[in-house]
Amino acid sequence: LGADVTHRAAGISVAAVVASRDSSFTAYFSELRAQSPFALGADRRRQRKSEERIVDLTRMVQALLGRWREAHGTLPTTVLYYRDGVSDGQFFPVLSLELNYLVEAFKNAGGPTY
C-alpha cells in the first residue's frame, strides 16, 4: 500500500491510497477521497488547516483489500504500508491514528485474526 495527501487541489485536499494488484508491482488498485482543508476556529470563522492524516483510511484500505480478494480469491499474506508527505512534527500523531485505522480495516476485511 502507498498513501499520500496533496493539498490545494481546486481548494480541497485529496487523499490517495494505492495497492499493487500483481506480484511484479506494475498494476495498481486505487482509492481517492476529498478532505476539507478547513476547520472552524474559535471565532467560528473558517481557517485553512491542511489535514495530513487520511481521514477515511479505514474504508479506503478495506475497499482495496476487497478488490484484492476479488482478483485473487484470498487476502494478501503480507502488507507493507508506505506513507509519504508527513513532516517530522506530524509523524507520531499520524502514525498512531493511521495504524489504528489500518488495524480496523484489516479486521473488517478478514476478521479478528487477520
Write phi, then psi, for 5 (nearest 5 degrees).
Answer: -125, 130
**Cell numbers of 45, please?**
470563522
DSSP tag of 87: -
What pLDDT, in 10s, does the model give residues 53-105? 898 999 999 999 999 999 999 999 999 999 998 888 888 888 999 999 999 99
Q: Whole-model pTM?
A: 0.84
- Residue 5 is predicted with a pLDDT of 92
pLDDT band at 112 (very low <50, low <70, confident <90, very high): confident
45 phi and psi angles, rounded to 5 deg? -105, 150
Predicted local distance difference test score (pLDDT) of residue 60: 97
How do residues 5-47 score in pLDDT, each as one tens digit?
A: 988 767 788 999 999 998 888 999 999 999 876 655 556 555 5
Separation of CA 69 from chain center:
18
Buried b (16+ CB within 10 A) or exposed e, 77-105: eebeeebeebeeeeeeebeeebeebbeeb
